[in-house]
Structure 1
């Protein structure tokens, strides 16, 4: 799987986002395109320490999730309709162009942290290194861009 810290992969993601329009329709899932670009900002904000999750998953679930941790950043694309954590669910209405621009800014801020050695602990999965964060964020964005056919 590519990493969002790679210049070529970073540019490819931004181009794919620019190929979205406010009329883009999902191939699967419930979010409209504005909700999707809002949703895609959230994991990046968690990675950069700008968003904390309020959902308390408990110690047992946390232990189970650690078994699934490699799936977050391995080379297999995420399947359609995977479960969305409560804090990442987006149901309100948003302005597509505004949220798309915020997403691109957030992606660029994340990309510029390629040399970061001090990442926050993920609230569900624990520690990720820089490469794992980059792969996971690329994989998440790719998942939702495929959802909207770009």
Structure 2
């Protein structure tokens, strides 16, 4: 028996959230946005995703209020895609998923370490810096090559 593709009948916040972000390409678009990618062609270059799939995911993320389109050029009209507050709220989820993947699927160590910007420390599972103890959020960190890079 096949699982349904939507979860409208389930009174479950996990199921409802997965309806929006439970797709590989959607999560990778959000990850790239946290890394500073904003333009369609740059998302496509970084991800290697088909244009129609990327268009679909960006449209859905905008429709859901996770990202917004911001014009940066008039002729021809071009837009950047930026995370909204709702999108930025996905950061702890993304970091938890990254740490879980590092523990279970990175036998040579993490390919990327989330470092504390301006400090030699790194993000802990409590969202603090392991060196100075400061609480960390998405604007406080930077990706650094890890041992599994």
TM-score (norm 2): 0.25
Question: Greater strand percent: which structure?
Answer: 2
**Structure with bigger RCO (C-alpha 8 Å, 6+ apart):** 1
- From the CA coordinates, give the structure whose radius of gyration is larger: 2
| Structure with greater helix share of residues | 1
